[in-house]
Structure 1
């Protein structure tokens, strides 16, 4: 055998030569050494010595290492980058946004965690540091309220919010009462559904022993508190009656309100005012009244119970939700007059306060949905 050539016997294998020709079966033949470098092993290559001929040691080692090129599949493992892709994680979180459940903030790193000033360190865990710039949306209202989260356009289950409550945080819930009967007067109480709804809701709060209730003088408000306490297993409960939980607290001029309202539903008037403004002289300034309500029920961490439950009425809770979500959560009943755009029983807003008196606001629901069926 000359120094410029060698012999190979290949049994049922495919070889791709530099001419890009694919050979299924190759009979023993002599291949120039100059073309060996382009040989890529696909199936099985059997190399035999031909009689009277000797293979060079550099042949097998050098060409077999061409498999190293195939290991460039390591570059395909860059798919790891897409698994840690910050944008992908954000999209996943945005998808969860439509889910009416807040996943535990600490263990699952739900996007809502990005909205908490005191938990932004969570971002380091998912390498999503760019989204820290959402802090640009911080709005300071008075010396107490720092709105650190982007507006939320969905309701979160109360139990999920409370399960994520930290040791240095306390919660105030301002909710519409449970289902009532047909008596809309101050003496109108809950119907059987409302009583059961309240008890079931109370069972979700069983882990709290330090709890305080607030209600109006209207019967269904107090009864909702009482049945929630019963569901919690409490033999008695502490409560205060507050005029600030009634919708009349928002009306500046009662006579003008009656005049402007006319025969129109109160649901239409209050929702239009909450989302579109107008009614000059009829109502107080919405922002000022909501900040006042927040300061009253969630303004001082040290004086708060661990959990505070304030049972109000729909005509106050709808403007509260509109304000708390920067009008992103749609309760514009005046546009469609559909119950799907009206606050459900036991739905409203949660104020979460930490030991620095920093507050975050979350729209919450005590039932499966935050709006009426």
Structure 2
């Protein structure tokens, strides 16, 4: 298969939607590409974990979810009735203050980080990386998960022509970064507990796997971290920062990362999800690869380009040379499909392949303003 490599200019060009188009929309809910001022400052309250959206939407990587938890409450808007769910699309109307910063951060949830006690990481007997072990209530050491060594460690990585059919390790991308380049890693959170609500925490294994990703991209320069308004995404980044050896944690919460960026209409989206016991996984991946579903989803290419250009390059990359963004699988699956030129195997509608924890995309910004995107993985594999 001929390799493709997406190069997206920072400024608007023929690869991107026209600059003037974004400012002309007056009804953002009907515009396939609403302007940033009407999108990025709003909380897209869609359940980012399949399972919280509807009872027909089980999470393949964690089938035990709490359907009674309603994650669609915007803590940054005190006037919102917490008993009423907010639209999941995040594009239902402009910000109340027309002069507000279109990239204003959301309000972080004041929840303490979960820190495991009695846990340790030690080498596996088979030599394939490290294992996480924790003491149970009886004081017995129990196995929690494997932090595999990179199975592709000997496979060469060419930054100018990466293999878009597979996930490249974040370590390879980071080590190949030139002094005058910047990188934004956009990853799914680490393994969480059974709750899919906003306040669910990482598991012990999730904590240590996030730290292992941080170790792979460690450097003396502090990174910038952006996450959704969910506790597990912030905890993921806290532990990535810890793995990098950082004593501080420069981070912000953004409502745009909550999950509904590609959803145009909640009712249509939920109707498609209800057609299958696999819920929104089937409709989302079928749409991302084959199109259709125009009543439920925006156009993938223009929507993904807009997010990369306006938010990741236009805002996040300006914070630091290395930035890590943490969000959810329903956001990252289509974004990664786009980043691979639809070559990555995330065809859940055919083979139940879905994006796994700590996988996503890397956005590399050159000194000349060029932008390159590719799928990346933080653990052994990028798919479930």
TM-score (norm 1): 0.58
Is residue 2:302 matched to residue 1:288?
Answer: yes
Q: CA RMSD in A?
A: 2.2
TM-aligned CA deviation for residue 263 of structure 1: 4.9
* 2:257 corresponding residue in structure 1: 245
TM-aligned CA deviation for residue 336 of structure 1: 2.1
Q: When you count helix as a share of all residues, which structure comes out higher?
A: 1
Distance (whole Å) between structure 1 residues aligned to residue 243 and residue 315 of structure 2: 28
Give matches, 1:48-67, under 5 Å: none
State the secondary structure of the residue aligned to 2:260.
helix
Unaligned runs of 5+ in 1: 1-89, 91-98, 105-109, 116-148
CA contact (8 A) 1:301 1:355 kept: no
Choose the corresponding residue for 2:178, options 151, 162, 166.
166
Is residue 2:347 matched to residue 1:335?
Answer: no
Unaligned runs of 5+ in 2: 4-150
Distance (whole Å) between structure 1 residues aligned to residue 160 and residue 217 of structure 2: 26
* 1:322 corresponding residue in structure 2: 337
Q: Which runs of 4+ in 1 moved over 3 A?
A: 99-104, 299-302
Is residue 2:241 matched to residue 1:229?
Answer: yes
CA contact (8 A) 1:318 1:331 kept: yes
Choose the corresponding residue for 1:180, options 192, 196, 210.
192
Distance (whole Å) between structure 2 residues aligned to residue 102 and residue 160 of structure 1: 11
* 1:96 corresponding residue in structure 2: none
Distance (whole Å) between structure 2 residues aligned to residue 256 and residue 200 of structure 1: 39
* 2:145 corresponding residue in structure 1: none
Distance (whole Å) between structure 1 residues aligned to residue 269 and residue 302 of structure 2: 19
Distance (whole Å) between structure 2 residues aligned to residue 156 and residue 284 of structure 1: 28
TM-aligned CA deviation for residue 113 of structure 1: 4.4
* 2:326 corresponding residue in structure 1: 311
State the secondary structure of the residue aligned to 2:200.
coil
Aligned residues: 232
State the secondary structure of the residue aligned to 1:250.
coil
Distance (whole Å) between structure 2 residues aligned to residue 309 and residue 214 of structure 1: 6
Map Cα deviations across residues 290-334 of structure 1 (whole Å, 9 max, x no partner): 112112112479824110100011111110111011111110011
Bigger CA radius of gyration: 1
CA contact (8 A) 1:301 1:357 kept: no
C-alpha distance 193-101 of structure 1, shift in aligned 2 (>3 A)? same
C-alpha distance 102-245 of structure 1, shift in aligned 2 (>3 A)? farther
